[in-house]
Structure 1
Amino acid sequence: MDPFEGEAAVPIEYEPRSVKDVLVEMKDTAELLIDLSYSAVLHRNENLAREVLRLEERMDVLELQARMSLMLAVRNPDDAEQLAPVLGIVAAAGDISDAAGDIAKIVLEEVGLPEAMRAALPEATETLVRGVVASDSEYAGRTLVDIDLESVTGIRVIALRRGDEWLLNPGPETQIERDDVALLRGPEPAVDGVYETLTGEPYESPVIDAADIEDLERAVDTIVHMKNLSELAVDLAYSSVLFDSEGLAEEVRNLEVEVDAMESRFEAWTLRAAADADDPVVLRGLIQLGSSTEVISDAAVDISEGVLRDLEVHPVVQMAVEESDEIITRVVVEPGSRLDGATVVGGVPDTESTMSIIAIRRPEEGWLLVGDTDTELEAGDVLISKGTRTAAEAFDDLSQEHERTP
């Protein structure tokens, strides 16, 4: 049964809100939806799954508002040509939202999911938890900068829900109020204390069971990798549009091809595992998870479609990125350059660059998500990195600049 079945649909009327503001909120909402839905599945957390469906409802409202604003913005054929890709971005965000909702329903409708999914949680991974702020919490009534939670504990408040209002990416001056629903992300060892201080209740860590079927273990590892690649694809897709980068758009397409190939292997391993499972029905959720993940990577390509087709980016999209100094870039490591042979630890290369590498595409090996992995860069590596505009320019120089010989 749908947890919101029987609730009346919220009436939606046109609001004089800028397309730029709606696009920024849709981007933030889509990224949070992906994060929440997979966390709900990996942790078997019904409360997180319900937040996904609430956020999906919010996305439906944003999608309609965006369509209304775009229709009013078209005055001539040139406007239509420039705004058509924006309409594609809006539709793709809706597809991501629907896929995230389907993932959440795996938990809420008990579709069936093997216990091995819990074993897919790496020991060092960050945890995402949901907690309701207790009325007597020492955090209630204080700003994030006053609490200084991230500096002290490593835990970040990634979103707050206050009734039906969502506060995405809360800033230093955002104040936490009692009864707020807080979404926290950070290292699990630190979660216990923060969660109890926030809610007044102890945090119960999920129990992890090992997979006892080899093909099932492969399937679970594959779906987690597909999830990570799809998340990266969505991030790159928005960045390709916001920065009008054909290079990033091409990497989105490369990621989608990789996810498609992985889904084929994933389905084969899942079917093989069904032959050895005591109850093959519990694998239904795994199949649905694979299908939804593939939808998300397809939506990422749809977001970047306008860039791939060399359509001019509408000024409203460019305005949306001017609010942030952080950008994502793509560079290729040239042979003999200062990045060739550089060691990357936790995403940071041992150079004077302040750019953080989030992924590497090695032509002969495929994608490597850097994160917690240490690796050595090689000539020909395609680096996807995040940082400031100034750092990005210097990093591009490093990828081409050769070491000086004495």
Structure 2
Amino acid sequence: MYPEDVAYEPVSVKAVLAEMKDTAELLIDLSYSAVLLGSDEIAREVLALEERMDILQLQARMSLLMAARSPEDAEELAPVLGVVGAAEKISNAAGDIAKVVIEDMGLPDAIRSALPEATEILVRVPVAVDSPYHGHSLGDLNLETETGVRVIAIRREQATGKRRWITNPDHESVLRSGDILLLRGPETGLAEVYERASGNPYEPIEPPEAPIDDLERAVDSIVLMKNMSELAVDLAYGAVLFDSEGVAEEVAELEAEVDALKSRFEAWTLRAAARVEDPIALRGLMHLAVSTEVISDAALEISEGVLHGLAAHPVVAAAVKESDEVIVRLTVTPGSDLAGTTIGDQMVQTETGMRIIAVRRGGEGSDWVVQPGPTTELRAGDVIVAKGTRAGTTRLGELAGDQPDAGE
């Protein structure tokens, strides 16, 4: 099967960049889920999305070249090409991660033991012709409230035979028979939704026994590198949207930490190689580490212009603002529900659908807290950067006592 031909056609650069952002973030999620679940099906979805990203980046590059009519235009648009290139690198890295599964490069069973206990799992499920979900919108079905399961993407075959991806579908998205749903949620809820969508029973993943110590440390390092790389991508887009050098500096710190983790990972993997029957079975882990580092490097490229004092082109900020998952900045006001409490106390993500990805402390110093958790305390004057659904921004603003700043 050969890639489809791509010819120049007038497109909205803003719309293409927004789709590239959403696709890149989905690719990261899916590729690691394919590895942790050992799923060839999810890995093949990654490769299909990677093909879509190839088309998007070509469309973006052609449109930007057509827009550059003077040296001044070239100077303004060069950073936009950098963002396009970084998103493409993320896509390629995700594809390489998926190939670890599809090509059976060698992954120890220990990688599956990295699945966090009692947390959410990602599965792929087709919607059957006789499914009760056919013809109903996600708002009608209310899956997340009823089961804790959310549909993070829908792949739909069009009449032309081409595939259409709907990333981060909303309450108005209608499910149809033949759709492929990517679901995320707790295992108990997934079993119910999977059966109602496909008509087949859900078969849970059984994690293996704990691995040897060095290999367990290596796997833990991979998971931590993955989490840091995902966060770096989120913060990189936030740095561009808010033209924040402080956020961009945090991206650089995360990239450096991923590099350090990769070095420790290599040491633990080499030690483990002497204690496993077949060291070749660890080859896939090495590929994972390399690809994960590429993702963190790409995040740094996205925010590099901000680090060098270059204002982001308005089209990039507009694309981030209009993507399916929005990034907002809010100030915690005195007397608000968030002031003097913790993220966990207010159940921010459950109540609003928004995930707080960074907190800048108010007052002197203005230190950033990245990867805040349930026990992170929020104080009056803190600035929070959060990511999630458009509908959740209003509710989060109410809790913070502030109106969402989406980079206007």
> Does the pair score TM above 0.5?
yes
Work out whether residues 339 and 400 of structure 2, in 8 Å CA contact, stay in contact via their aligned partners in 1.
Answer: no
Q: TM-score when scaled to structure 2?
A: 0.85
- Distance in 2 separating the partners of 1:157 and 1:355: 16
* Equivalent residues of 1:360, 1:367 under 8 A apart: yes
Alignment partner of 1:31 is 2:32: no
User: 3-state DSSP class of the match of 1:345?
Assistant: coil
Structure-2 separation of matches of 1:376 and 1:276: 43
Native 8 Å contact 1:327 1:389 kept in 2: no
SS at match of 2:124: strand
Task: Report the equivalent of 2:37.
Answer: 43
Tell me: CA distance 1:384–1:320, structure 2 relative to 1, closer, same or farther (3 Å). closer
1:175 positional shift: 1.2
State the distance in 2 between where 1:166 and 1:22 align. 13
Instruction: Give 3-state SS (helix, strand or coil) of 2:322's partner.
Output: coil
Q: Give the Å deviation of 1:90.
A: 0.5
CA 1:255–1:329 in structure 2 vs 1: closer, same or farther (change >3 Å)?
farther
Q: Residues 137 and 30 of structure 1: is their aligned pair in 2 closer, same or farther, counting only changes over 3 Å? A: same
Q: 1:328 to 1:298 in 2, by over 3 A?
A: farther
Contact 1:347 1:358 in 2 (8 A): no
| More displaced 10-residue stretch of structure 1: 382-391 or 70-79 | 382-391
* CA distance in structure 1 between the partners assigned to 2:319 and 2:296 by the alignment: 23
Equivalent-residue separation in structure 2 for 1:394 and 1:194 (angstroms):
31
What SS class does the counterpart of residue 153 from structure 2 fall into? strand
- 2: CA distance between counterparts of 1:90 and 1:131? 31
Say if 2:114 is the partner of 1:120. Answer: yes
Distance of aligned partners of 1:370 and 1:122 in 2 relative to their CA distance in 1, 3 Å threshold: farther
Partner of 1:136, secondary structure, is: coil
Percent identity of paired positions between Structure 1 and Structure 2: 60
The aligned residue for residue 264 of structure 2 is 265
The DSSP-based 3-state class of the residue aligned with 1:161 is strand
Check 1:140–1:395 CA distance in 2 against 1; reply closer, same or farther (3 A cut).
Answer: closer
Residue 160 (str. 1) matches residue 159 (str. 2): no
Alignment-derived partner of residue 194 in structure 1: 193
2:21·2:87 contact (CA, 8 Å) conserved in 1?
yes
Counterparts of 1:70-81 in structure 2, within 5 Å, are: 70-81=64-75
Asked whether the 8 Å contact 2:330–2:384 carries over to 1, the reply is yes
Runs of at least 5 residues in structure 2 that lack an aligned partner in the other structure: 158-162, 403-408
Query: Residues 113 and 378 of structure 1: is their aligned pair in 2 closer, same or farther, counting only changes over 3 Å?
Result: farther
Structure 2 CA distance for aligned equivalents of residues 79 and 320 of structure 1: 19
Q: Distance in 2 between matches of 1:384 and 1:105?
A: 34
Count of residue pairs brought into register by the alignment: 381
- 1:327 maps to which residue? 327
Where do 1:221-300 residues align within 5 Å? 221-300=220-299
Q: For 1:270 and 1:322, locate their aligned partners in 2 and report how far apart those are by CA, in whole Å.
A: 41
For the residue of structure 1 that corresponds to 2:181, the secondary structure is: strand
Corresponding residue number in structure 1 for 2:203? 204
Q: Post-superposition shift, 1:280?
A: 1.0
Supply the RMSD in Å over aligned alpha carbons: 3.2
Which deviates more from structure 2 when the two are superposed, residues 240-249 or residues 228-237? Answer: 240-249
* Equivalent residue, structure 1, for 2:313: 314
CA offsets 1:255-302 (integer angstroms, 9 cap, x no match): 101111111111111111111112111110111101100000000001
Give the aligned residue type for 2:206: V
- Residues 22-171 of structure 1: matches in 2 within 5 Å? 22-163=16-157, 164-171=163-170
CA 1:145–1:330 in 2, change beyond 3 Å: closer, same or farther? closer
Q: What is aligned with 1:404? A: none
Unpaired runs of 5+ residues, structure 1, are: 1-6, 333-337, 398-406
Relative to 1, partners in 2 of residues 1:292 and 1:196: Cα closer, same or farther, differing over 3 Å?
same
Q: TM-score, normalised by structure 1?
A: 0.85
Q: Aligned-pair distance for 1:361?
A: 9.5
Q: Comparing 302-311 with 57-66, which one deviates more in the overlay?
A: 302-311
8 Å CA contact 1:233–1:252 kept in 2: the answer is yes
Separation in 1, partners of 2:142, 2:330: 33
Q: Is the 8 A contact 1:347 1:370 kept in 2?
A: no
**1:369 — aligned with what?**
371
